[in-house]
Amino acid sequence: MAAWTAKDIPDQTDRTFVVTGANSGLGAETARALAGAGARVVLACRDVDKGKEVAADLGDNAQVRRLDLADLTSVREFAADLADSHETVDVLINNAGVMAVPLRRTADGFEMQIGTNHLGHFALTALLLDRISDRVVTVSSTMHRIGKIDLDDLNWERRRYDRWLAYGQSKLANLLFAYELQRRLTAHGSTVRSLAAHPGYSSTNLQYRSESLQGKVVEFVTPIIGQPARTGALPTLYAATAPGVEAAGFYGPGGPFELRGTPKQVRSNGRSHDETVARELWELSERLCGTEMLRP
């Protein structure tokens, strides 16, 4: 793949994108690039004020709507509000996330990382899927490689909590979800495509919220080796807009160790392709979220 940049995004006029977590970092850069290509962009943000600051620079095609992925009531309200507007969504970008935070619970009692990064996006996708016409892009991480899905204790109620393993579990869940979503879309004869992306090592505010000793180390090295957020957003933008992308494709930076660089198709680990775990995680997610999607 030749070096692909935001300048290569095809014209997105008359297309609508929902970007979660678009008030800062990768989400904000994703929204800026899409709006620059002519798209209508819904900035789905927990912090509406910060979202409005981003949207102010994007023109009339940007709108901000409140979405707190750590609260399923908020997810349902966001989806209902979008339905009331009768707006079709061409592409949903499941971007928002938290990383390596101390043990906390969402409004629904889920461990914060699996609750925000996976379950919130699972519920959102389920509630919006009948309005989506083109693609669902779910943002994962190279840290999926340290993850393991514990279906008996997904929310860390019995295990000793480890913030990094919890993050890895949530990012592995993102990939299992993206691949299983494509299998089910195909089985249902849908033309909607599910893809995944990861930003490599990107300098965003995500690295400054882990509240740990390891987090302090990450804070120190990130400005040195991390790529700018606008570059980190490119794999997501490629997955969301490039013609000819593969269904269930996974896209990340093309540089050494996938840490930085322009997008290319990359591989995820074997655990992410375990169809039995993916199916069981899907069914558990439906029960936890109170939603159903693409049942067999």
pLDDT tens sequence across 149-158: 999 999 999 9
Cα-Cα-Cα-Cα dihedral sign, residues 46, 52, 58, 64: positive
Task: Give the separation between CA 11 and CA 242, rounded to whole angstroms.
Answer: 10
Which is the catalytic residue, given 167, 179, 201, 238?
Answer: 167
What value does the mean pLDDT take over residues 98-106?
A: 97
pLDDT band at 130 (very low <50, low <70, confident <90, very high): very high
**For residue 224, is pLDDT > 70?**
no
Task: Give the separation between CA 69 and CA 115, rounded to whole angstroms.
Answer: 8
pLDDT tens sequence across 17-29: 999 999 999 999 9
φ/ψ of 183, rounded to 5, equals -60, -40
pLDDT tens sequence across 237-288: 999 999 999 999 999 999 988 999 999 999 999 999 999 999 999 999 999 9
Q: What percent of the chain has pLDDT over 70?
A: 92
10-289 adopts what CATH topology?
Rossmann fold (3.40.50)
Q: What is the pLDDT of residue 1?
A: 59
Task: Give the separation between CA 58 and CA 128, rounded to whole angstroms.
Answer: 24
Q: What is the pLDDT of residue 208?
A: 44
Q: Where are the alpha helices (DSSP H) in 37-162?
A: 48-55, 72-84, 112-113, 121-128
Name the residue with higher pLDDT: 87 or 33. 33
**For residue 205, is pLDDT > 90?**
no
Q: At what angle do helices 121-128 and 163-187 cross, to 10 degrees?
A: 20
pLDDT tens sequence across 21-70: 999 999 999 999 999 999 999 999 999 999 999 999 999 999 999 999 99
Q: What is the pLDDT of residue 202?
A: 72
User: What's the predicted TM-score (pTM) here?
Assistant: 0.93
Q: Where are the alpha helices (DSSP H) in 85-228?
A: 112-113, 121-128, 163-187, 213-225
**For residue 220, is pLDDT > 50?**
no
Q: What is the pLDDT of residue 87?
A: 85
Cβ atoms of 77 and 68 within 8 Å: the answer is no
Task: Give the separation between CA 217 and CA 197, rounded to whole angstroms.
Answer: 25
Q: What is the pLDDT of residue 223?
A: 57
What value does the mean pLDDT take over residues 87-115?
A: 97
**For residue 209, is pLDDT > 60?**
no
Q: What is the pLDDT of residue 225?
A: 58
Domain positions in the chain: 10-289
Task: Give the separation between CA 202 and CA 206, rounded to whole angstroms.
Answer: 9
To which residue do tokens 């494709």 refer?
Answer: 249
167 a catalytic residue: yes
Question: H-helix or E-strand containing 235?
Answer: helix 234-241
Q: What value does the mean pLDDT of the chain take?
A: 93
To which residue do tokens 């195909």 refer?
Answer: 186
**For residue 2, is pLDDT > 90?**
no
